[in-house]
């Protein structure tokens, strides 16, 4: 369901760790939309503070 959210490119979830990493296109969706989807699925979610800078754009080749 999360991968069907417009702008979400990938999602990796660890139920054991209680964490998810979601890669998304900030021009197509917002963190609040992603959190809303997770909450509607019956899970509790909040934004984590990134430990490293967030990349924007596509990688150089």
Domain spans of the chain? 2-40
pLDDT band at 56 (very low <50, low <70, confident <90, very high): low
* 49 vs 34 pLDDT, higher one: 34
Which pLDDT tens digit goes with each residue over 6-46? 999 999 999 898 889 999 999 999 999 999 999 999 988 88
3-state secondary structure of 4: helix
Query: In the chain, how many H helices and how many E strands?
Result: 1, 2
* 35 vs 51 pLDDT, higher one: 35
Residue 39, Ramachandran bin (φ over 0: left; ψ between -120 and 50: alpha; else beta) = alpha
What's the whole-model pTM score?
A: 0.72
């Amino acid at each position: 369901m999360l991968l069907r959210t417009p702008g979400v490119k990938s999602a990796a979830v660890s139920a054991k760790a209680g964490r998810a990493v979601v890669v998304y296109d900030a021009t197509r969706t917002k963190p609040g939309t992603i959190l809303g989807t997770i909450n509607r699925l019956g899970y509790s979610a909040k934004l984590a503070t990134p430990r490293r800078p967030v990349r924007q754009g596509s990688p150089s080749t």
